[in-house]
A and B are shown apart, each in its own frame.
Chain A
Amino acid sequence: MKPPVRHHIVSARVENKAGVLARVSGLFSRRGFNIYSLAVAPTHDERFSRITIVVDVESAPLEQIVRQLDKLVNVVEIAELAPEEATERELLLATVRAAPADRGQVIALVGVFEGTIVDVGLDAMTVLLAGSPSKIDDFEALIRPFGIVELQRTGRVALPKLARRAARLRAVPSVGGDGAS
């Protein structure tokens, strides 16, 4: 599934406390906005977590939501990250049908995408891939014909690009905006 066209990334540093996620997500749900993906985990400082929310919403209401989120007592910092100004990564785990005859093709595909095979069964394999969301989308489309038993994506995590790198990368748009892999 492709991410929605109007997707926005909201990145918030919040207190690592009970109920904070409910307060944050509540500001979206009470307006009837669906959260497309959500990733939460503690930062290097255990007192705080970073929440990365991808949401499909017009810019004007989003700005209002971001200001309301900023008012939450538990939200320490919040910013909307424009996709071109963010380094984004996502992780995918998929169990793919891979009977002995197909196994080689699946392994080759995982190799091309620099993924990892993390589990092997009699007629299936579980593969792992981390990368930019568009790379994950491409990989997902290519393995789908083999037959997907189960698939789970983490939702994206993102950090603002560093100023000195952003300037260099803007001159090389073909890299796809992440300059890695």
Chain B
Amino acid sequence: MTGAQALIKSLEMEDVEVIFGLPGGAILPVYDPILDSSIRHILVRHEQGAGHMAEGYAHVTGRPGVAMVTSGPGATNIVTPLSDAAMDSIPIVVITGQVATGSIGTDAFQECPITGVTMDVTKHNWLVTDAQDIPRVVAEAFEVATTGRPGPVLVDVPKDVSNAQMDWYWPSSASDLDLPGYHPASEGDPRAVREAAKLILSASRPVIYAGGGILKAHAADELKELAERTGIPVVTTLMARGAFPDSHPLALGMPGMHGNYTAVTAMQRADLLVALGARFDDRVTGKVAAFAPEAKVVHVDVDPAELGKVRQPEVQIAGDARRVIAELLRALEALGSATAELPASSRPDLGPWMAQIRAWQKQFPLAYRQEEGGALKPQYVIETLRDMTPDDTIVVAGVGQHQMWASQYWRFDYPYTWVNSGGAGTMGFAVPASIGAKVGRPGKMVWAIDGDGCFQMTAQEIVTASAERIPVKIAILNNAYLGMVRQWQELFYEERYSEVYLSPDLPDYVKWAEAMGAVGMRVETAEEVEPAIEKANGIDDKPVVVDFRTDAFEKVYPMVPALASNDDIIVGPTYGEGGR
């Protein structure tokens, strides 16, 4: 068997059902056995699309997404998705072709040292120099991508290695892998877990700070149990939307720079933060020195390097969130019933804290106003879309204002229904990621909520969706601007708008959608929103693009200005702002 055949067979052994990719010279040998494989291949129009599709697939299924591209520019085009996946801990496996081993280092045609280029944006990468290593390296790649803190990996396969003969085998157990330095954390230290339980039982203003690690660890059920057993309210970060149901009475929604007032302020006033699979990102903390000044911190993360990276915790627990929460529940039970040291009966009453939280929620709700006959508000489009789609609809966002509004105004009641680029902030993520999500969950409705700036970066993948009959739906919140940058220029650069205007009708999004084999629609008024969504929901054999012409003056609120304390949250616009 050739190395190429072994590579495809190895992917089959890993139960890969789909590869997103685009062939080229150095990867040619590997594309031949794809014709005989059970694995579906989706031919993308740009390699960046393949990477984001693999990410979207991984986001919604929890299984590693696989992308395959050629050497040189094919490989460099997928660096952005690798970086994106590294920031958001998304398991993807990228296979790249490489020039023949004898040509490496000679500046051969389409040569690029991709293992060096991607060293800092992958969890690990491999250059395969012997065809006999292929099954073992593929098995190692999947092991590393999916265990511990998940992340992207890359396997670089030179053309002569693909063409070489090898004797097939498959590593039957972990001991057949050559990973002597890889030991992901799993269980928490029992003493630390007990300390954490004590802090929980002695706190009077506690908040659970749930991050994307909850979803990676499949710990949504355990999180709910912890919240309900302790009565502690939960904020869900941008990466954790859906990890705790927004309709739950203990749900506070999203914290951070564009979080709601209650989520932000509850963290600021808390006397205990229970951080579960969260990494104290600067978009959550604002100015670190002023973040949650009175709070003790319990930090649980599968990655020991996150503990104390930004905020020194009182109790740090390196472990898998699901297992640690289960251990924590047992420790709480033991403290409540088995010891007199700190019985649950002596626990402070959380009543006043919850009353304060309810008061904030009542006083500072998210707000916008859609005036009759007035400009179409982006929030109105999102709320209408939310109300007209099934509860388990998968929502995929790009990066910018539309992303924040989608996170704020959607109601996420199920895990794995929210897909976005959080840490890296990759514009253009939504279109390809929504395609990957729909491939992973074909039975669910998938709506991308995109910006006009983002859409133009990767829209060509709609051709892929049309050709492969992947019926994603894309709502462009078209305000004719790079809206988030415009918002900052309006608020912090004295309305000096520099290079942010895009035009509402160049390109013509409806014609462009139609040219790519999709249905295109345009919506200019609030009255047209419902009929358009109804029509889009009814189309199930091709992609749909709806061009919503929204109000360019609308800004994302609340907002904590960059580097400011979260106490300086701006709840909403002042009268007359933005030329009104």
Contact = CB atoms under 8 A, between A and B. Distances in A.
A77 B179 CA distance: 12
Contacts of B181: 14-15, 72-77
A70 B119 CA distance: 15
Contact of B305 (A23, A71, A76): A71
Interface stretch (B38-46, B120-128, B372-380, B447-455): B120-128
Interface residues of B, number: 17
Given A14-B181, A73-B179, A76-B180, A30 B120 contact: yes
B120 A71 contact: no
B127 A71 contact: no
Interface string A116-138: 00000000000000000000000
A92 B313 CA distance: 45
A73 B127 contact: no
Nearest to B179: A73
B144 A73 contact: yes
B115 interface: yes
Interface string A85-105: 000000000000000000000
Interface string A8-29: 0000001100110011001000
A48 B180 CA distance: 10
Interface in A17-71: 18-19, 22-23, 26, 30, 47-48, 63-64, 67-68, 70-71
Contacts of B180: 15, 47-48, 76
Contacts of B115: 19
With most chain A CB atoms within 10 A of its CB, the pick from B181, B305, B308 is B181
A64 B119 contact: no
Contact of B127 (A14, A18, A63, A67): A18
A73 B184 CA distance: 10
B123 A26 contact: no
Contact of A19 (B127, B144, B182): B127
B142 to A, nearest CB: 13
B304 interface: yes
With most chain A CB atoms within 10 A of its CB, the pick from B116, B119, B127, B309 is B119
Contacts of B120: 26, 30
B125 to A, nearest CB: 9
A72 B151 CA distance: 13
Nearest to A30: B120
A48 B178 CA distance: 12
B116 A22 contact: yes
A23 B119 contact: yes
Interface string B108-119: 000000011001
B303 A71 contact: yes
Contacts of B123: 73
Nearest to B309: A64
A14 B124 CA distance: 14
A68 B181 CA distance: 13
Contacts of B305: 64, 67-68, 70-71
A22 B144 contact: no
Contacts of A15: 180-181
Interface in B298-319: 303-305, 308-309
Nearest to B182: A73
Nearest to B305: A67
A30 B116 CA distance: 14
Interface string B173-187: 000000111100000
Contacts of B304: 67, 70-71
A61 to B, nearest CB: 10
Nearest to B318: A67
Contacts of B303: 71
Contacts of B124: 72-74
A23 to B, nearest CB: 6
A15 B120 CA distance: 18
B578 to A, nearest CB: 40
Contacts of A22: 116, 119
A11 B157 CA distance: 32
4 closest A-B pairs by beta carbon, nearest first, are: A67-B305, A76-B181, A73-B124, A75-B181
12 contacts: A15-B181, A19-B119, A23-B119, A63-B308, A64-B309, A67-B304, A72-B124, A73-B124, A73-B144, A74-B124, A75-B181, A76-B181
Interface of B: 115-116, 119-120, 123-124, 127, 144, 179-182, 303-305, 308-309
Interface of A: 14-15, 18-19, 22-23, 26, 30, 47-48, 63-64, 67-68, 70-77
Given A26-B119, A64-B305, A67-B304, 14 more contacts: A15-B180, A19-B116, A22-B116, A23-B119, A30-B120, A64-B308, A64-B309, A68-B305, A70-B304, A71-B304, A73-B123, A73-B179, A73-B181, A76-B180
